[in-house]
Chain A
């Protein structure tokens, strides 16, 4: 389950019209998607947002990854629906809130599925955010798959020592994660320490204005995508409001 949900937010390189866009356009596109899903308060608005997301997902060919993620999001939507009903909301309102949650998850997932950590970095640099903040963010995103691999190796080691994660009552099961979590955290701290030292010996922080090998550059298709999406977003907002 965790793996399916995680994969719904992990970028994979693809040769699609959406993946090839400038990182800034992807950011704008994603901002439009998230804004629409937050503003949509009735079935029509939600359908419009869903149609928007579906078109980006289809163009980017990331439907399969997002699909699994949405199956799990649906479980939470059902809970939201039930809680709203019990709290006294009407059937339609409860359904709208549940569907809104689904659309918000889908729009956030779209953003992560089409934007690589490198592109985050370029955009943040372009936005002139502090370098330490950019580096911390990008490093933490890149660490996620590494930590997942570490967790698998630690789990293998502890299972080889007779640890059984699937046995016992819920409390016992939770406790059996301690032998996995402690080495994982210690390993992560040690790894980040080594990374910090490696960055320092490579002169990280020696200058306030480091140069960059990559520069963002808008192409014709980026301008077309920006214009079309801005028009579509504006029209959608008029309809929703």
Chain B
């Protein structure tokens, strides 16, 4: 679905941000991109809808070479939600903000209205329909930014640092949304420094460092490896606890609820 083949990317100022990345993201897959600042995560993401074209190598999105397609064509299939909400909003009302992308992609008036209604309801933004997007809270703005991308129903949703500046309740809402998108068969890519959040999603984890993918595998397998600190990653607490237990359950705890259940069985009561 999204394939990177030996992708190298050099910015105009000479910085080599990707140094031969090869990977494949399949249908219905949940992938978390982790790694230190400057590892190349955002550069990688920008290749997924053609905002950046590889200096060397090839990126194919649903079989289309990104060098031969416009950003708009690719964005129709791969929707990216960028980190800073304020840099995406400009309309007078929440409703118009959602409608903007739909108009750009040529949806009919009726279909656009239907989708706007669906998004307002799904993301709890109905009361703010005629409100300025700039007067929303941080959590509401984030929900709006996700809604305005999901409105055109892309096959892949890419979230760049979705939990930055979000409180616990909002993080839970984002987590719930990702889980529901996966149930709908969509693929989700999450770039994040928030390993506790990433862990709770049980994703496939790609660790990036210095423009390369240095680790790739299931979260429990990658994050339990020795030496992840080298990539400035702090192991999630539930995994750390699991690894320190002498008598371990069959698989690590992804949620506190699972830990609670295990304690009840082992200790009793």
Q: Which residues of A contact B (CB under 8 A)?
A: 150, 153-154, 156-164, 178-179, 182-183, 186-187, 190
Query: B51 interface residue, CB < 8 Å from A?
Result: yes
What's the count of A-B pairs with C-beta under 8 Å?
60
In the complex, are the beta carbons of A178 and B90 less than 8 A apart? Answer: yes
| In the bound complex, CA of A57 to CA of B101 (Å) | 48
Q: A162-B75, A162-B105, A164-B104 are in contact. Are A187 and B51 (CB under 8 A)?
A: no
Chain B interface residue number, banded: 20 to 34
Task: Determine how close the nearest CB of chain A comes to the CB of B220; give it in whole angstroms.
Answer: 32
Q: Which residues of chain A are within 8 angstroms of B89 by Cβ–Cβ distance?
A: 183
Q: Which residues of chain A are within 8 angstroms of B82 by Cβ–Cβ distance?
A: 153, 156-157, 160
Q: Which residues of chain A are within 8 angstroms of B71 by Cβ–Cβ distance?
A: 159-160, 164
In the complex, are the beta carbons of A157 and B75 less than 8 A apart? Answer: no
Question: Can you report 5 A-B residue pairs in the complex whose CB atoms are below 8 A from each other?
Answer: A159-B51, A161-B101, A161-B104, A162-B75, A163-B104
In the complex, are the beta carbons of A160 and B87 less than 8 A apart? Answer: no
Task: Determine how close the nearest CB of chain A comes to the CB of B62; give it in whole angstroms.
Answer: 16
In the complex, are the beta carbons of A161 and B100 less than 8 A apart? Answer: yes
Query: B219 interface residue, CB < 8 Å from A?
Result: no
| In the bound complex, CA of A20 to CA of B72 (Å) | 48
Q: Which residues of chain B are within 8 angstroms of A158 by Cβ–Cβ distance?
A: 88
Inter-chain pairs besides A156-B46, A160-B71, 11 sampled, C-beta below 8 Å: A156-B51, A156-B82, A159-B72, A160-B51, A160-B80, A161-B104, A161-B149, A162-B72, A164-B104, A186-B90, A187-B86
Q: Which residues of chain A are within 8 angstroms of B72 by Cβ–Cβ distance?
A: 159, 162-164
Q: A160-B71, A163-B104 are in contact. Are A183 and B87 (CB under 8 A)?
A: yes
In the complex, are the beta carbons of A160 and B75 less than 8 A apart? Answer: yes
Q: Which residues of chain A are within 8 angstroms of B146 by Cβ–Cβ distance?
A: none
Q: Most A CB atoms within 10 A — which of B49, B51, B71?
A: B71
Give B101's nearest chain A residue, CB to CB.
A161
Question: 1/0 per residue B65-97: CB within 8 Å of A?
Answer: 000001110011001101010111110000000
Q: Which residues of chain B are within 8 angstroms of A153 by Cβ–Cβ distance?
A: 82, 84, 87
| In the bound complex, CA of A64 to CA of B84 (Å) | 36
Q: Which residues of chain A are within 8 angstroms of B80 by Cβ–Cβ distance?
A: 160
Query: B156 interface residue, CB < 8 Å from A?
Result: no
